[in-house]
Amino acid sequence: MNRPLDGVRVIDLTNMLMAPYTTQILGDLGADVIKVEPPEGDPIRKIGPHRSEGMGPIFLNTNRSKRSVVLDLKTDDGHAAVMELIRNADVLIYNRRPQVMERLGLSYETVRAANPRIIYSGIFGYGQNGRYAAKPAFDDLIQGAAGVPSLAQMAGARVPTYSPVAVVDRGVGLWAVGQINAALFHQLRTGKGQRIDIPMFEMMASFVLGEHFYGRTFEPCQSGSGYPRLLSSDRRPYQTKDDYICVMIYTDRHWQAWFNALNTPEVLENDPRFASIATRTENIDSIYAELAELLLTRTTAEWLELFEKADIPAMPVNSPDTLIDDPHLKDVGFFIQVTHPSEGKLWDMAVPADWSETQPAPDKYAPLLGQHSKEILREIGFDDTRIEKMMQAGATSAPAN
């Protein structure tokens, strides 16, 4: 298998969802990702149904393409082992607060002294030059701080509401992949490493305000914040005669095709709300409310047929269960049944990108806690006697079988 990040070694000092998602993507791209876990393991191992202890579904879906080594970083041997791993690595990624890394003896200055070319990337709550620098952070907290629940209420929710998708963890995790790959390109050209701080709050502020800065982009402001189309209470899946449908009648061509399909082309000439994308945005609430009423008159299948003929973007509304059974995902081979060495038959998801030459793909199943401890410690020169002493002292561990 020839993959784009073959030969890159990543030391993964991360847990939970956000940063392990980053390192899984890097592993799928070909990096040798060494997941360093404390003796109790990544807490997300314990969430959800499981066949084996510590192998829950969220862990399985966020930690493939990695090897697991258990190291108690508060012990001398555990710290010595991680420093030896660092000396031979290209990237170190962590999602503890920087203050914790310093207490563990793994500050940027310490790590850089051991390996000047390393990319030292922290993914944590807040930029280190601001008043929130030392605060802990989770997806829900950053959603709230970035205004996501308030936007949901402005758009019609009864109360401020979190997104039911871990939008911060996934979004920041993806953002981190791009930053780290750019740093790897710089490292390749110059031989130099660097520190990269990736703060969740600032990333989500830019994510949210890209649309919702709106009139406050200007000084003095031209209007309030908030993009009206995204905040319309009628921007939602629409009820039909028998179900729901998503439709996006957006461009001038879409609206022309829509009224032609309804045999009412004169509306575009007679109703000034439809004169341009600007006037439609100004009148979006009334336009969407009328659309919602009209879509009640036919079934979802009937509307989908009309929209497809008119080349207007539309899709049915999936639930998680119907998404898993989606025919297009079956067509493209998105779901793959695999046989995990300890968990038996599982469903996995393919890398959602199609490369012509160096196709990314998982090369390892999500590991048992400490599955590769002995293998990795031997690679850095620890002999079996030292490894056994570490195991007896609780500085490392490995599964019985």
Express each pLDDT in 320-370 by its tens digit: 999 999 999 999 999 999 999 999 999 999 999 999 999 999 999 999 999
Residues 289 and 365 in one domain: no
What number is the average pLDDT over the span 233-254?
97
Question: Has residue 169 got a pLDDT over 90?
Answer: yes
Q: Please, which residues bridge with residue 247 across strands?
A: 314
345 falls within a domain: no
In a domain, 215, yes or no: no
From the list 181, 206, 196, 61, the residue with the least C-alpha distance to 123 is: 196
Is residue 326 situated within a structural domain? no
Helical (H) or strand (E) element with 279: helix 277-282
Q: What span, in angstroms and rounded, lies between the C-alpha atoms of 385 and 240?
A: 70
Report pLDDT digits (tens) over 131-158.
999 999 999 999 999 999 999 999 999 9
Q: Which domain holds residue 360?
A: 9-207+352-393
Q: Is 99 found in the same domain as 190? A: yes
Q: Give the tens place of pLDDT for each residue, 391-400.
A: 999 999 999 8
How do residues 28-56 score in pLDDT, each as one tens digit?
Answer: 999 999 999 999 999 999 999 999 999 99
Provide the pLDDT for residue 1.
Answer: 77
Q: Does 231 fall in a domain?
A: no
How many structural domains compose the chain?
2
Residue 333 lies in a domain: no
What is the value of pTM for the model shown?
0.96
Contact 180, 22 (CB under 8 A): yes
Looking at the structure, tell me whether residues 307 and 169 fall in a common domain: no
User: In CATH, what number is assigned to the domain containing residue 129?
Assistant: 3.40.50.10540
Whether 366 and 300 map to the same domain: the answer is: no
178 with 292, same domain: the answer is: no
344-349 vs 335-340, strand pairing mode = antiparallel
For 114-131, what is each residue's pLDDT tens digit?
A: 999 999 999 999 999 999
Residue 49 forms part of a structural domain: yes
Q: Are residues 113 and 197 in the same domain?
A: yes
By CB atoms closer than 10 A (0-12, 13-18, 19+), residue 174 is middle
Tell me if 48 is assigned to some domain.
yes
The two beta strands, 66-70 and 194-199, are: unpaired
Helix axes of 300-310 and 252-261: crossing angle, nearest 10 degrees: 120
Q: Beta partners for 123? A: 198
Beta carbons within 8 Å of 257's beta carbon, 6+ residues apart = 310, 311, 312
If asked whether residues 363 and 277 sit together in one domain, one would say no
Q: Which amino acid is at 376?
A: I
Are 271 and 387 in the same domain? no
Q: Are residues 201 and 244 in the same domain?
A: no
Contact by Cβ (8 Å): 8, 30: yes
Which of 291, 316, 341 terminates a domain? The answer is 316
End residue of a domain, out of 301, 316, 331: 316
Q: CATH number, domain at 275?
A: 3.30.1540.10
Each residue's pLDDT tens digit, 94-103? 999 999 999 9
Q: What is each CA distance from 240 to 290, 298, 303, 310, 319, in whole angstroms? A: 13, 6, 8, 18, 16
Neighbour-count burial of 258, counting CB atoms closer than 10 A to its CB (0-12 exposed, 13-18 middle, 19+ buried): buried
Query: What is the pLDDT confidence band of residue 185, given thresholds at 50, 70 and 90?
Result: very high
Residue 284 domain flag: yes
